[in-house]
Structure 1
Amino acid sequence: MPPRGPDVPVPMFEILVNSSTLSVEAAARVVQVSVEEDTELPGMFSLEIVATDDLEDQFLWVDNEDLFSVGGLVEVKLGYADQLTSLFKGEITGLEPSFTSDRLPTLVVRGYDRRHRLARGRRTRSFLKKKDSDIAAQIAREAGLTAKATDSGVTHDYVLQADRTDFEFLLERASRINYEVVVEDKTLNFHPVANGEGEVMTLKADEDLAEFNPRLSSAGQVSDVAVRGWDPKNKKEIVGKSQSGDEVSTMGGTQAGAALSKKAFGAATGLLSRTPVAAQAEADQIAVARLNSASLELITGEAVCGGRTDLRPGKVVKIDGVGKRFGGQYYVTAATHVVTSDGYSTRFSFRRNAL
């Protein structure tokens, strides 16, 4: 990544608290802004603000309940000059003041997107004659969120939420069918993992990337998956199967993890016998989902580039300039955007299912 120079745009940020832009005075005291996004965890923001050297006002930010209070609404915009993009909308959940003898007091303000509301309190209840997408939509409505749920296809006679938070429960249901649970502002998205989509950008090692650290591992790769269950109505065994070739996409590669594993070590079946299934369609769906989720662990890693507001979890990026084996498409699973006096950088985690 090239160093900053006169032609490099200056990073900017804008913080809105309860729909009001942070004052110029307050913004001038902010020393760091970060936004962390993840396909498996609630999105989080943090900002660090330093006190003034005026003894009468050094606790101004710490004691200002009108400005920073638990439950306050926050929007974070990042970017360059007047090209700002909204990256986070959520709620303040924590305040962390720091008092040391060798520097001015600081206050770190933290908050999460509205997924955190789904993690408050455990429930035990049942859902009858519903698809997983129907369950996600119901839970979203109960949390005061708008649901945007992709039809999951299979209707379940009975689903038990046993001593789980709504968030834990939704993640479990999503994991079974290779879906994700994401909240954007007040909308809960329940949709398939999108590693089959086209890339939204290309990042070149010698121009855009400060770091690129991929890890290829055949551990956990299987040539096929079998899901076994019992049909209580017809009193017979259920077997759902998937195999190499059932991947949603090979992300521009020629050999997926399942095929690579079989070629190198021979056939190996991933057997799921403890996963509750009661219908053939459910077993088939889970088998394909497990093959896809396992394959997507073939290559994992992290990278760092100059700040990109369009680099978001759930998107596919293309990496160039790292050789043929590791060049190509990668699915972004997490991204951390940080703005400090040193500039704006984005660190992201990725996965790939093929070579």
Structure 2
Amino acid sequence: MSLAPAYAPEIRLLLAGRPVPAALRGSVASVTATCGFGDADRLEATLANEALRWLDHDLLRLDTAVELWLGYAPDQPERVFAGEVVGSQATFPGSGMPTLTVIAQDRRTRLAAAAPSRWFGVPVPHLGTMPLPDVAVAPLLALEHGLLPVIDPLGALLSAALGAVEAAASLDDPTLRQRIVRTQAGASSLDFLQQIAAENAWEIAIDHAADPGGLVLSLMSPGGHLAPEMTLRYGHSLIDFMPRFSTVGQIVKVTARVWQPSIRLELTVSVGYDWDRQSLDIEVSPGFGLPGGPKSTEVMLLDEPISPANAPRVVLGKLLPRLNRRLTATGSCVGNAAVRAGHVLRIEGVGETYGGLWRVTSATQTVDSGGWRTSFEARKEIWFGAIPAPAQGAVRIQGGLLSLPADG
């Protein structure tokens, strides 16, 4: 029985929808693609520019479509990046080979460049202007720049529930209804979309593997995606792993002043997270103070205007990102296209505290003379707290020996 080589990378670089010519492919010294949540993904391809042959080549013009596919023979490679050329950098050394680095980014750069002033509401007779729901506003922002938005079921359900709270709170208050209409003023469309995503517990990523390449914008709710896509084990498939605790995550309570016009009273609303019980706690009290005792170092106060209608969104957008930054990590493994933003990794062999499920927030695929390798950034999310540590693959190490669960 013959076995296919385990690590024979298959690399395809496409320009303008076609494989690059053999001469250009032979000049590629390295390719790096970084894809993650939030801002635009980026690809850099460095070419050996012998006799300056690639300096003004038509295939490397601005706005040329670029795709990078990676995998292992004999399997078909997977698309890990699709975007457009946005720039280039050249070196002309006194000695040695000149180089040309071609830079490409995904279409989120178009959202970052647009900053119109507008509001998102619908005039309704006898009711005034009613706010468009976020499940409509976010797709509109994507569609006007040629992106195809996809909101997962949990994300849509959570957004609808938050919208229902807004609608109920503002039903008898026309002024309040006007205040919760989404208004874009002085912010780029990308920043505006990121604000909407944060207040709905969504993450923004381009799904490069989906067709059409580079155009599918995923608005995902991480709480609905908890199953690991792959397992990495330290000493085997995991080359290195560096987890770290951050004091940022120690801010575990958000406190805001909310004016309730129906009773003409200012309320103090605090939402916090109990790490021991792994649950959200909500406290409401009249006047302004710091509920929960003297632990003021754990409280973040909101200075922006808060109303009963938008309080849940604002608190969610401030609290959740900080909770999920409490435990973060960087790591690397042999090249693997399955390591990408939004996917869940099961990390084994690093003990109970640092092992288990991690969400990839950014992945970098690098191909050069050393082969193909993948580095990533990841975070421990509060959603994983509902899954027992042994079921996650988080096993305590005792006396230098790995303590395996009873079934393994």
TM-score tier after normalising by the smaller chain length: 0.7 to 0.9
3-state secondary structure, aligned to 1:123: coil
Deviation at 1:164, TM superposition (A): 0.9
Taking the aligned partners of 2:336 and 2:258, their CA distance within structure 1 comes to: 46
The reply on whether 1:32 has 2:23 as its aligned counterpart is no
Gaps (5+ residues) in structure 1?
A: 1-5, 53-57, 260-264
Could you say if the C-alpha distance between residues 183 and 238 of structure 1 is closer, same or farther in structure 2, counting changes exceeding 3 Å?
farther
**Counterpart in the other structure of 2:142:** 140
Q: Residue 178 of structure 1 aligns to a residue in which SS?
A: coil
Instruction: Give distance in 2, aligned partners of 1:100 and 1:237.
Output: 67
What is the deviation of 1:162?
1.8
Please say if residues 142 and 217 of structure 2, whose CA atoms lie closer than 8 Å, have aligned partners that are also in contact.
yes
Q: CA deviation at 1:165?
A: 0.8
Return the alpha-carbon distance in structure 1 between the equivalents of residues 313 and 231 of structure 2. 33
Q: Tell me which residue corresponds to 1:105.
A: 98
**How big is the shift at 1:352?**
0.9
Code of the aligned partner of 1:42: A
The alignment status of 1:198 with 2:227, answered yes or no, reads yes
- Unmatched segments (≥5 aa) in structure 2: 122-130, 167-179, 208-213, 282-293, 390-408
1:96 corresponds to: 89
2:318 is the counterpart of 1:295: no
Q: 1:122 Cα shift? A: 2.3
Q: Is the 8 A contact 1:229 1:273 kept in 2?
A: no
TM-score, length basis structure 2: 0.73
Tell me, yes or no, if structure 1 residue 119 matches structure 2 residue 112: yes
Please tell me whether Structure 1 or Structure 2 has the larger radius of gyration of its CA atoms. 2
Corresponding position of 2:306: 277
Query: Aligned pair 1:86/2:112, yes or no?
Result: no
**Could you tell me how far apart the structure 1 residues matched to 2:224 and 2:332 are?**
20
Counterparts of 1:329 and 1:275 in 2: how far apart (Å)? 35
SS of the residue aligned with 2:54?
helix
Q: What are the within-5 Å matches in structure 2 for residues 308-347 of structure 1?
A: 308-347=336-375
What residue number does 2:21 align with?
23
Q: Is the 8 A contact 1:215 1:299 kept in 2?
A: yes
Inter-partner Cα distance in structure 1 for 2:143 and 2:262: 32
- Larger RCO: Structure 1 or Structure 2 (Cα < 8 Å, ≥ 6 residues apart)? 1
Match of 2:66 among 58, 71, 74: 74
Instruction: Name which of structure 1's ranges 213-222 and 20-29 shifts more when overlaid on structure 2.
Output: 213-222
Q: Percent sequence identity over matched residues? A: 26
For residues 63 and 30 of structure 1, the distance between their equivalents in structure 2, rounded to whole angstroms, comes to 16
Name the SS for the 2:191 alignment partner.
Answer: helix
1:181 aligns with 2:204: yes
Contact 1:223 1:268 in 2 (8 A): no
1:212 equivalent to 2:241? Answer yes
Offset at residue 202 of structure 1 (A): 0.9
d(CA) in 1 for partners of 2:380, 2:64: 38
Residues 1:293 and 1:321: Cα distance change in structure 2 (over 3 Å): same
Q: Quick check: 1:75–1:86 contact (8 Å CA) kept in 2? A: yes
Cα contact 2:249–2:324 (8 A) shared by 1: no
Distance in 2 between residues matched to 1:288 and 1:12, nearest whole Å = 43
- The CA distance in 1 between the partners of 2:65 and 2:45, in whole Å, is 14
Structure 1 letter corresponding to 2:39: L
Q: Residues 335 and 194 of structure 1: is their aligned pair in 2 closer, same or farther, counting only changes over 3 Å? A: farther
Corresponding residue for residue 262 of structure 1: none
Structure 2: how far apart are the matches of 1:208 and 1:16? 29
- For the residue of structure 2 that corresponds to 1:143, the secondary structure is coil
Tell me how far 1:167 sits from its aligned partner: 0.5
Counterpart CA distance in 1 for 2:326 and 2:11 is 36
CA 119–217 in structure 1, closer or farther in 2 if over 3 Å, else same:
closer
- TM-score, normalised with respect to structure 1: 0.84
Structure 1, residues 75-123: CA drift from partner, whole Å, max 9, x if none? 1101222431101111100111211122122111111011111011322
The one-letter code sitting in structure 2 at the alignment partner of 1:109 is V
SS across alignment from 1:86: strand
Q: Distance in 2 between matches of 1:89 and 1:68?
A: 15
